[in-house]
Amino acid sequence: MKIGIIGGTGPQGLGIAKRLAIAGEDVIVGSRKEEKALTVVEEANEEIKEYNPKELVGMANEDAAAAADVLILTVPLQAQSATLKTIKEHTKGKVLLDATVPLETANVLHINPGSAAERAANILKDADVKVVAAFNNISNSHLANIPNPIECDCLICGDDGKAKEIASDIIEKIPGLKAIDIGPLNKAHLIESITPLLIGMNIKFKSHYGGFRITGIDFE
């Protein structure tokens, strides 16, 4: 299974890419410009080579979407719509993990429909893409803190059970992360709204590693 990270040259996308490559996954890092993807990937491969990873591959977003079996979108809200429209023709029937958060500084934005993930599903509805909200609450600092495990829960939601199984499997390739399915895609606004809370707590307590674990529930 090839995993394409769309908009993957930023801190979040590249952190996920490195972690998954170290876990032995085939990862393609996409960027608006192929040249940037190639440059960033070359540096990233050098940084993680001591962990014997699968080698990251760099491509333009459109090519990454076409070549990958599963997609992870890691772009700011302002770029979400335009990016999805450029890759739409290459997404038919695929699973898309959307990490977009409707965020401005540390405040959540209200968008229509009710969440960034639902907006992604709406944009891609003609392509029959299975959208799962995922990775929204995992900090870039945690992802970059290789090889330490990320002792956090990763909430996900979506309307397709198989897609959520695929998303969970990908998430749990990263040591320490546990995927927790909270229900259908219309719950995505709840997941996305947690991010500004974590940002605010990190600022207040002068940390970069705020996360959370859900306790008291048997998820087995």
pLDDT digits (tens, 9 = 90+) for 70-100: 999 999 999 999 999 999 999 999 999 999 9
The stretch 123-146 carries a mean pLDDT of 95
Q: Are 156 and 179 in contact (CB under 8 A)?
A: yes
Residue 190 CB contacts under 8 Å (≥ 6 apart), including other chains = 182
Instruction: Tell me how crowded residue 53 is: count the other CB atoms within 10 A of its CB.
Output: 22
Question: What's the distance, CA 131 to chain centroid?
Answer: 11
Kindly report each contact of residues 35-38 with a partner whose C-beta sits within 8 Å and lies 24 or more positions away, as own/partner.
36/9, 37/8, 37/9, 37/64
* Residue 186, SS3 per DSSP: helix
Beta bridge partners of 132: 97, 158
Q: Are 185 and 157 in contact (CB under 8 A)?
A: yes
Residue with tokens 């990775």: 135
Q: Are 68 and 60 in contact (CB under 8 A)?
A: no
pLDDT digits (tens, 9 = 90+) for 23-38: 999 999 999 999 999 9
Residue 7 is predicted with a pLDDT of 98
Residue 57 is predicted with a pLDDT of 98
Residue 68 is predicted with a pLDDT of 98
pLDDT band at 106 (very low <50, low <70, confident <90, very high): very low
Q: Which position has the higher pLDDT, 198 or 173? A: 173
- Give the C-alpha separation, 112 to 117, whole Å: 11
Residue 110 is predicted with a pLDDT of 58
pLDDT above 90: percentage of residues in the chain: 81
pLDDT band at 195 (very low <50, low <70, confident <90, very high): confident
